[in-house]
Structure 1
Amino acid sequence: MARRQYSSSSSSTSPFSLVVFIMFSILASTQQPAAAAASLKVGFYKSSCPSVEAVVRRAVTRAVSRDPGLGAGIIRMHFHDCFVRGCDGSVLLKSEPGGKKTERDHPANNPTLRGFEPIDEAKSNLESICPNTVSCADILAFAARDSSFHLGRITYAVPAGRRDGRISLFDDIPANLPPPSFTAAQLAASFARKGLTADDMVALSGAHSIGVAHCSSFSARLYSFNATHAQDPLLDGAYAAELKRRCPVGGGGDVAVGLDATPDRLDGNYYGELRKGRGLLSSDQTLMESALTKKRVVGFASGGKGGGAWAGKFAKAMVKMGAIEVLTGSRGEIRKRCDFVN
């Protein structure tokens, strides 16, 4: 999945400590997604709003047909929602005048997140058909699945029953969304805290076969990597030269570069690019360089551009991610609008 587009301070934690922490986190949180998923149900709206998935699909298909980048944005938005306060639609909330800033206004999300319009369109249509019934959190989960199908013919059943959160805080972002500078061990630890395994993390990272990143999120790899190397030695030379043309030193901050060679197609090509040293972000290429994740990357890359083995793993990981810390039953609310609490 797309990483945060800004850097954080480097960690001083030793590799051994990170491995111990990762294993402890995985063991401690393995049961959380299963328990949360049990409170969700495929066909949740079968009686209360049977047309819900069709309504969301129409809104998403119209939007993504016009602009494939919106599909990448919606999938990324679902990830950013679930990793901060769970999958509760909190990323959709706008800041209110005079109030605290919300997640949506954080540099990790604004202006980089896209796809709010089809979510709002689907919600408006559903409120006219099934008022006060379908949560924005569920709409976002359905929309991410529909974007995956439109861009990569990947489909899966979405368990629903999420309710919307009432809290969205700007300051929750740094501790929850991994930055593009993270190592594989740091990424695995970040995902483990959410109940996801290293294999889940590698599969979900395949969403970086679509969408773009701005020069500012990877220019350090080109010009100021570390005290020994101005350019990241893991970068393929021809690819680095291409990126330098797109992102000249001291400039190009607003220029968008495709995350892989097929930025409008959700496929397994991403993993083949990592094997060639053509991962755009440090947190992409690290998956190929770490013993923790390399075997899975090679396995997905060997599946070819169609990415059959990867597609199945991605679908399962999306369902698992969609169950993180969900609000169900009487917790939370069903918003009338996705951008404001009731």
Structure 2
Amino acid sequence: GGNAHPSTTAAARAERGGDRPSPPRASSARQARSGSGGGAGVGREELSVVVEKMERVISNLQNENAELRKRAVSNVKYVELTKEVKELRATVEQLRAKEAELTSRLAATREEADRAAKTMRELAEARRATKAEQEKSAALREKLVEAQEGRLSAQEALEAAQHSAHEGGGRSAAPPLLERANAELEGALRAAQAEQRLLREELVSKGTLLVDVGSQLSTALEAAAEAEARAASLEGQLREASTQAKEAEEVVFHAEQERDRLAAQLGEVAAGAAAPGAAAPGAAAAEELAAELAALREDNALMAAELSALSPAFFEEVEDMKYALAVTREQLGQYERNFGPLQPS
């Protein structure tokens, strides 16, 4: 149920207490039905007053119960909404913490992706440098082949010249020009061979470096792809967490509005029940309402006990009195229609 105004409760108790006369005896009811004597008129008036007071008591009791039920429901709903608001606030805090964590993880993942992209650029530059070295090695290899071919040609020319000189004059010595050319070619060949050895060693070193660069590049590409995938996943989770946080905040906002509305209603009721200027908002108002609720429930139980204590014979006698009162009023009306209104004594 809900609470009622204290003045209403006091009035109901007063009407149920000293103002209510004791139940009349059955003999009075029978006397009222027979219509005998002037005392019967007085008894009918007393019965009418008793019946009216009993009706007012029952009506007040019903009104108090309705108000008590209404206010109790509002108080319970206010407590439930306050609890729900607290739970929703905790949920919002959790979502905000999750959003902050996802933001931090996303920033770290983006830094990792930037580092991977930088490594990829460095490895691409190293690959371009290695390719340039390979082209340089190929050019040196061509020069070495040309030097070897020139040496072979010079050696063949020298041998042919020696053979011609041997057949012509029996001289075994080669012409000085050919010897110088041969010496120059041999020197160029040795230089080319030395350069070839250095180039081969450099190619081996650069080839090993290229293999390492390729492996590092593959690793960097995989790391970059993983970082991008993690970043995309974290961005999706972040958007979802932000959406959930906004929805939870909207729910909290509406719940707080409903809670404030109920609090205002309870405050108005409490202000009407208390003395002027003695408003007790918040927890004090809730405690006051709870105390008043307990008092009204106790008063309700007392009134119910009083009503249950009345015997069926009393209610039967009350019905007889009501019947006698109706008959008397009908007779009085008939008399006034026939002889005019009664003059006051």
Q: Please identify the structure whose Cα radius of gyration is greater.
A: 2
Write 1 or 2 for the structure with the bigger share of helix.
2
**What TM-score does the superposition give when structure 1 sets the normalisation length?**
0.19
